[in-house]
Structure 1
Amino acid sequence: MGFILPVNTIFITKNLRKSMVTAGFVLLIYSLLMLVGNFLGGQLFDRWSHRGTLLLGYGLSAASLCAITFNHTWPSYFIFLATGGLAMGIAYTGINSYTALLAEQSPRKSQTIFSRMYLAANVGIAVGSTFVGWIFQRSVFWTFALQTICFLSCFLIVLRLGAILESPAAKATADQPPFSSAPFLKLTRPQRIRNLILVASASLIIWSGYSQWDSNLSLYMLQNHFSLAQYSFLFSINAASLFIIQPLMNRLLGHFLTQLKSQITVGLLLMGSSFLLLPTATNYSQYIGSMLLLTIGESVTFPLIPALLNKFAQHENRGTYQSFYVIFSSLGRALGPYWGSLLITKASFTTLFYVIWVTMFLAAWGIGQVREKPAPDLN
């Protein structure tokens, strides 16, 4: 996915010669269909097949990207990209759901499992974003061909080694959930619904703002006379620093704040503050500072939100609960580039950055209202 998001706005506006609003609309449809895929992925994971869900998502993604590789003219690009969004949504929820299943079976390592999965996914996105600028400037064909190879490789890995996803150990907790009671919260139905609404709303807001880095920020930096390579390199900094920042932040905040919602709140305030550095950024070091502050905040926020959701899910609906986070995150990614481009067109980039700061603060307040008790000590 790190190859897909950063170049979309530039490819549509510069290569296909469409307006910025059109580029935002394309990303809106792409992300809305990813949202549909997220819902389908959760349902298929809970009701059909863990392995089959991933095979369907990866296979359809590879086919869509292969079509774009050989036909990236308008409107074919838009059609195949939208189809790919649906497929990637299925695969993404499938991975999150399997992570939740692993966390259920290893409750004492639940937070660590989500953190490591997030780190692996984010490093992949960041590495892709780093190289895509260099590759895109040299070959549009290889920009999309390499994406196809990545998803095809995932498909073959699951096809070859994915039997473990349907193993008796993976299914055992369906009849006997021995691990699920201790670390997870027993809430009433109204309390669960309230928590879901708060987490879903916060996820929508968070990703709506964060998605600006994957879309409109590329154009902002180009307008300020920075190169695409410099923009892409910020994602390398993001990936490299995560290896150091995430373990430190998890240990530091975990020592002082026992509740996941409190740690997430701190992360959100840091993420929002990072956007306050952008309106006055005149040299590259200021963009690096903004990215590092964003990285510190996201290293806490993104892995802990699905972990928080998993605390009040049941075994039979872990995939569905994870799909709530992924769906509203996808909706935020869908709306973010579009409303961001509209706000930039009607006002300015500066207005956009201040609006994001305010909305991140509101998301932090919402997460703070989630009902959560500290997990019991299992040592």
Structure 2
Amino acid sequence: MVRRAASLRVVFGIVALDLIGFGILIPQLGVYGVKFGASPFTVGLLISVYSLMQLVAAPVLGRMSDRYGRRPVLLLSQVGSLAGYVLFAFAHSLPLLFLARIIDGVSGGNIATAQAVVADITSPKDRARGMGVIGAAFGLGFVLGPALGGFLGAWGGNLAIGLFAAGLVALNLAGTFLFLPETRAMGATGHARTLKGASVALSVPVVGRCLLLVLVFTTAFAQMEGTFSVYLLTRFLSSGPVPLQGGLFLQAALPDAAVLREASLRAGWLFATVGVLSALVQGGLVRRLVGGREGKPGREAPVATVGFGLTAAGLALLPVAPGYAWLFPVMGLLAVGSALVNPCLSALVSLHAPPERLGAVLGAYQAFGSMGRIVGPALGGWLFTRLGPGAPYGTAAVMVGLAALLALSLVAQARMAGAGDVQRS
């Protein structure tokens, strides 16, 4: 029991430090992409490439952890992340930024390996509580990361951001090496293939609809994340976009150092607000709104539907905000909406998945979310470049509005499916 608790603490530290490092870069990638001459579309690709590499590499790292052990895979992936952040720190061109994100994306499968560690050391009845450790680490990372990124970027640019994130990974590497024992059971089987898991998941009532919803929602939300820094620079910190021949929109000129510092601070504050509100909502409000008991269905589908509506409203209001201060309540809507949607959809999937296929179904759910994080930033950047700064947010609002209508039908379907019967054992 003592060893299990110690391992969970180490896993919490691994994921928290990893997500703080990742969160530091979220609002800053657009700033430094623009600094090196990237168009909004290229900024979207810069953000998408991380998730693309993660989607490709995560199954490989998962199979490696089954064959060679969790500990060596975690150590290897942390060395890769360390190299990626150091490269980001000293990057002086757009190709180097892309290379840094590719390296870190390939290494980003260590979250899945950390989840495997939790599964190794917890019994089925304690599994949800163990996975909650990872959820808490996610929340901490996304609260502290963006705010730290804003201050570091304003103070020392990409050099300070990259070296600070690399320092966090170095702490992770030392903690894993010194304190995390191997947890893989001898004779453990490999991970289910993503495509096989997806086909199984899509055929399950409720679960298939949740997969479609998380794909649409993540694609829409990632359009905002992928273009927000460029939108902030264009709308509030520069002379605005210049229409070019062929319907393209570009910055009038590359921003100077003072504008970049201001963009770093403002983006950091806004994303920190989103992180704090999301943590508060997911930390207590969602449980009260959903109700139900462990293993029993509650009001997940209705609460998710409300979340879709709030997110659609926030996305629609974002391009018409009259000033920077107005972005805080608008981002608040997005924070609360996403904090209602994400845990409710994942809970519905876990409640309605067949117990013998739970791992494959949850893997497919994560894969659909990853696809949204690949498509969303690139799509948002393309819309920004072709149609102007407000286009990604209007398009995303329509997508989430349609998802809200689909979620309404999920309410009746979830009630009829009887999740309690599916998960009763």
Q: Report if the CA contact (8 A) 1:21-1:341 is conserved.
A: yes
Q: What corresponds to 1:352 in structure 2? A: 392
The answer on 1:211 being equivalent to 2:211 is no
Alignment partner, residue 58 of structure 1:
78
Q: Residue 7 in 1 paired to residue 34 in 2?
A: no
1:206 maps to a residue whose letter is F
Aligned pair partner of 2:159 in 141, 144, 148: 141
1:34 aligned onto 2:54? yes
Find the aligned partners of 2:115 and 2:302 in 1 and give their Cα distance.
Answer: 22
Distance 2:387 2:131 in 1: 39
Q: Assess if the C-alpha contact under 8 Å between 2:30 and 2:43 holds in 1.
A: yes
Alignment match, 2:210: 199
Give identity over the alignment, percent: 20
User: Normalized against structure 2, the TM-score is what?
Assistant: 0.72
Select 1:153's aligned residue among 163, 171, 180: 171
**1:181 is matched with which residue?**
none
Aligned length: 357
SS of 2:183's equivalent in the other structure is helix
> Is 93-102 or 218-227 further displaced after alignment?
93-102
Name stretches of at least 5 consecutive residues in structure 1 with no aligned partner.
176-187
For residue 49 of structure 1, the aligned residue among 39, 45, 69 is 69
Give the distance between the partners of 2:291 and 2:219, measured in 1 at CA.
Answer: 30
- Paired position in structure 2 for 1:185: none
1:117-157 deviation line (CA, Å, top 9, x unaligned): 33431331231111212212332212111111222322322
Distance 1:61 1:322, change over 3 A: farther
Contact 2:224/2:377 (CA < 8 Å) preserved in 1? no
Q: Secondary structure at the match of 1:143?
A: helix
1:38-65 per-residue CA deviation (whole Å, 9 max, x = no partner) reads 3334444566533344333322212222
Q: Does 1:232 align with 2:274?
A: no
Once residues 419 and 329 of structure 2 are traced to their aligned partners in structure 1, the CA distance between those partners, rounded to angstroms, is 33
Report Cα offsets for 1:224-251 as digits up to 9, x if no partner: 3254212211122223334432244223
Contact 1:204 1:329 in 2 (8 A): yes
Alignment of 1:122-133 (within 5 A): 122-133=139-150
Give the conservation status (yes or no) of the 8 Å contact 1:267–1:300: yes
What residue identity is the alignment partner of 1:127? L
Q: Residue in 1 aligned with 2:12?
A: none
Q: What is the CA-CA distance between 1:201 and the residue it aligns to?
A: 2.6
In structure 2, relative to structure 1, the CA distance for the partners of 1:13 and 1:246 (3 Å cut) is same
Larger Rg: 2
Q: Which amino acid aligns with 1:33?
A: M
> Which stretches in structure 2 are left out of the alignment for 5+ residues?
1-21, 190-198, 238-261
Query: Given residue 93 of structure 1, which amino acid in structure 2 is its aligned partner?
Result: A
**Alpha-carbon distance in 1 for matches of 2:334, 2:179:** 36
